Amino acid sequence: MPRDKSSAGISAVLRAVQSIDEIMEGVPRDMWSEFEEGVRKLMADKQRSFEEEGEDDGGEDVRGGKKQRLAQVVNPYEKMQEIKFFLRSRVPMEAVLPSENILYEHKGTEFESYNTVNTLSVDDFLYEMHEVDELCDEGKLPRHYCKDCGSRSVEKLNFITHSLSIRELEFVFNSVLPTRCKLKDATVLDVGSRLGAVLFGACLFGDVKEAIGIEVNKEFCELQEETLKAFKMSGRARVICDDIRNSSELLRLSQVVVLHNPFQFFSSKPSALEALRSIFSSLSKGCLVVACPSLDEQLSNCDGAASEMSKYGIEEQKLQYPEAEEEDDEHADDDGLLFSNIRLYKVS
Ligand SMILES: C[S@@+](CC[C@H](N)C(=O)[O-])C[C@H]1O[C@@H](n2cnc3c(N)ncnc32)[C@H](O)[C@@H]1O
């Protein structure tokens, strides 16, 4: 290697280290391990795209010999894990942004007693329950809240999630949908796409033709775009910053629509009901709707009638749920079945 090339390389490395040093100033000490993990992932990605570019140009490998054709075997589960770590470094631990106002007005539902004092958001896509436990053990997340400040009278916090977990996404795109539609030809639309978990699942587990997220929060839209770009999925997935009530045409053109409780913690009951009605009336015949929780529950959470669904020709489809292998599986219901809060519907 020529001497000047080598010294230019060393200067570049020194400059990069200096920049990292400056960036580190802004990273809290207790998040250094997450930072380190993020940098390592970034390096791995850079290395991978460097190798991919080398493959595309049909030329010689810069390291000298004939370029090696690397088998492009993407393990979707591993990729999802990489995305999860990438996003962890981009949002607060609760994955709720300052621009958001989480609403607690859930009279008559299982969340009736939940409020800002006794409830903490933890994102199932970013942290599985055992990881939340670890964070609590390390003192990074609280487990309890003080009932009357200063005393030892404490109560367990309620945890709520605003994203589907990687395992739930794998169930949806590997087990629920493939037997019912050709995902390769399908447009999947996620109502309220937030971090983009459904979009990533649709591309990696489902290998869908196209995944579209509609998200009303601008910051989340920007984060999804950044993530899709970083993981080279922008060609197949995109996000639109808008209210779903303005998206009837996209809903009409979608073969699969995902409704993961988009409104309960984010909209007033009347707007939630209006949005659900507008969605239902826009769906095309044959469209599959993946809901979590059931549409009955989503409607009743916003004071709508479950019977309305028949008006729109929406019929529930029977699903086979796998049995949990471990008794304390966080996704198991009382009968030991996994993912039973996920439901499937078809528009007739
Ligand atoms: C429970 S999160 C769903 C996350 C994502 N679909 C998933 O399963 O991982 C609901 C999201 O819907 C968004 N949202 C609420 N009302 C909306 C509306 N009218 N139009 C578009 N997005 C909306 C919220 O900002 C929030 O990010």
Closest to 130 measured CA to CA, from 326, 334, 291, 342: 326
Q: Which of 96-110, 252-266, 291-305 has the lowest mean pLDDT?
A: 96-110
Please state the atom number of ligand 1 nearest to the C-alpha of residue 163. Answer: 9
* Residue of 281 and 8 predicted with greater confidence: 281
- When divided into structural domains, the chain yields a total of 1
Please give the distance, rounded to the nearest whole angstrom, from the Cα atom of residue 268 to the centre of ligand 1: 13
Structure tokens at 141: 């997340």
* Residue of 293 and 2 predicted with greater confidence: 293
Give the pLDDT mean for 17-36: 79
Does 288 map to a domain?
yes
Give the pLDDT mean for 289-317: 94
Residues 148-161 have pLDDT tens digits of 675 656 778 888 89
Give the pLDDT mean for 9-32: 78
Please give the distance, rounded to the nearest whole angstrom, from the Cα atom of residue 271 to the centre of ligand 1: 13
Listing DSSP states for 80-123 in one string gives: HHHHHHHHHTTS-TT---TT-------TTSTTTT--TTTEEE--
Listing DSSP states for 157-206 in one string gives: PEEE-SS--HHHHHIIIIIISTTTS-GGG-EEEEES-TT-HHHHHHHHTS
Residue 277 has pLDDT above 80, yes or no: yes
Q: Whose CA is nearest to atom 16 of ligand 1?
A: 263
* Residue of 184 and 141 predicted with greater confidence: 184
- Which of 87, 97, 168, 194 maximizes ligand 1 atoms within 8 Å of its Cβ, making it the mutation to test the pocket? 194
Please give the distance, rounded to the nearest whole angstrom, from the Cα atom of residue 95 to the centre of ligand 1: 13
C-alpha to C-alpha distance for 38 and 44, rounded to whole angstroms: 10
pLDDT at 6: 59
Residue 5 has pLDDT above 70, yes or no: no
- Which of 203, 217, 224 maximizes ligand 1 atoms within 8 Å of its Cβ, making it the mutation to test the pocket? 217
The alpha carbon of residue 48 and the mean position of all alpha carbons in its chain are separated, in whole angstroms, by 23
Residues 50-95 have pLDDT tens digits of 655 554 443 333 343 444 443 346 799 999 999 999 999 999 988 9
Structure tokens at 131: 């990881």
Ligand 1 shell residues, CB under 6 Å: 125, 162-164, 190, 192-194, 197-198, 214-217, 220, 243-245, 260-263, 266-267, 275
pLDDT at 1: 40
Res. 9 pLDDT band, cuts 50 70 90: low
Q: Whose CA is nearest to atom 14 of ligand 1?
A: 192
Core vs surface per residue 221-238: b (16+ CB within 10 A) or e: bebbbebbebbebeeebb
Range of the domain at 250: 166-347
Please give the distance, rounded to the nearest whole angstrom, from the Cα atom of residue 186 to the centre of ligand 1: 21
Which domain CATH number covers 332?
3.40.50.150
- Which of 125, 191, 254, 339 maximizes ligand 1 atoms within 8 Å of its Cβ, making it the mutation to test the pocket? 191
Please give the distance, rounded to the nearest whole angstrom, from the Cα atom of residue 265 to the centre of ligand 1: 9
Q: Whose CA is nearest to atom 20 of ligand 1?
A: 243
Res. 306 pLDDT band, cuts 50 70 90: confident
Give the pLDDT mean for 218-230: 97
Please state the atom number of ligand 1 nearest to the C-alpha of residue 194. Answer: 27
What are 159's strand-pairing partners?
120
Q: What is the mean pLDDT of the chain?
A: 86
pLDDT at 185: 96
Does 9 map to a domain?
no
Does 332 map to a domain?
yes
pLDDT at 50: 64
Please give the distance, rounded to the nearest whole angstrom, from the Cα atom of residue 244 to the centre of ligand 1: 9
pLDDT at 156: 81
Q: Whose CA is nearest to atom 13 of ligand 1?
A: 192
Residue 215 has pLDDT above 80, yes or no: yes
DSSP state of 329: -
Residues 95-150 have pLDDT tens digits of 999 889 888 867 888 888 888 888 888 899 999 988 888 888 888 887 877 666 75
Please state the atom number of ligand 1 nearest to the C-alpha of residue 258. Answer: 6
pLDDT at 278: 97
C-alpha to C-alpha distance for 210 and 88, rounded to whole angstroms: 25
| Helix-, strand-, coil-residue percentages of the chain, each rounded to 5 | 40, 15, 45
Q: Residue with structure tokens 């509609």?
A: 214
Does 131 map to a domain?
no
Does 63 map to a domain?
no
C-alpha to C-alpha distance for 273 and 304, rounded to whole angstroms: 6
Question: What is the torsional sign of CA 20, 21, 27, 31?
Answer: positive
Q: Whose CA is nearest to atom 27 of ligand 1?
A: 194
